[in-house]
Each structure stands twice: as C-alpha cells, then as structure tokens.
Amino acid sequence: MELTGNAKPNKNVKHQSLPKNGEDIKAGTKCEVAGWEITNNKATSGSDKLMHVTITILDRQMCNDKKHYNFNPIITNSMFCAGDKRGRKDTCRGDSGGPLLCKGVLRGITSFGPPLCGNPKKPGIYTRLTDTYLSWIKKTIGGDF
C-alpha cells in the first residue's frame, strides 16, 4: 500500500512503536497478531471488524523438526513461527502483511502458513524485524518511532 500523502495522527491513526534493534524474540514470548480476513477454515469471506489474538513465539528449531515443517520450508534466522500448542489461535488466509506486536512493539510481519489455519503442527510463519529491515523502515518513513 502506498499513501498519496503523509498520514496525520488522530484517534484512529497512530505511530507504531518499533524495536530499538532487531534482536531475536525468545521462544515463549506472548505476542498479539491482528487481521481482517477469515476466522476459521470454513469461512468464505473476511471479517467486518479487525480481529486479534494472543499467540506464543515458538522455538525455531522445533518448527523445523520432523513433527512440524521438516525444513520445508526452512524457517531461517530472519523468520520465526508462532501459534498455540493446541492450535486454534493463528493468523489465516489474507492476513499476510499484518502486524505481530509484543508488548505493544512491532516485532514481526505475518508472512505465511499452511492452507488450513490453526494447525498446531504447522504454526504461522512471520518475518522478523531484523536490523536490516528496521534500517530500511526508518529510512523510508524518515524518522524514529
């Protein structure tokens, strides 16, 4: 998305806090994701309101093991997986590009997941805001947030 001009902060538009650096997020950290799209695997259209759920950052090595993604795809250091060990809590089709916030700070971007959402063996995959990405974001928006 590209805006035609600068967004003006108001009660509905606020600056999002960015992390000071791109350090990795520890497994077990609780974070919140949000999206407008489908809320279950049988839905045919998105939600009328912004949905959000708290999920847990999972161990990258576990996500790559044989019981999970089995290195297909490889979850690299610039990515992480997050979800719920029982399933049911996840981002879903159409949520890609949405935020993952930990303690109110943007730490990741929804990237992809399996065709069926909420699968505990295939948690959602997120792009981590590494130092490289943070540098680009700050340069592009022209400031510190």
Is 107 a member of any domain? yes
Instruction: Give me 39's structure tokens.
Output: 């809320």
Beta bridge partners of 55: 31
Is 22 a member of any domain? no
> In the chain, which residue ranges form alpha helices assigned H by DSSP?
60-64, 131-141
Structural domain boundaries, residue 111: 30-141
pTM, to two decimals = 0.86
State how far the Cα of 136 lies from the Cα of 78, in Å rounded to an integer. Answer: 15
State how far the Cα of 9 lies from the Cα of 19, in Å rounded to an integer. Answer: 20
CATH number reported for the structural domain that contains residue 82 in this entry: 2.40.10.10
How many structural domains is the chain composed of? 1
What confidence tens digit (pLDDT) does each residue in 70-127 have? 999 999 999 999 999 888 888 888 889 999 999 999 999 999 988 888 889 999 999 9
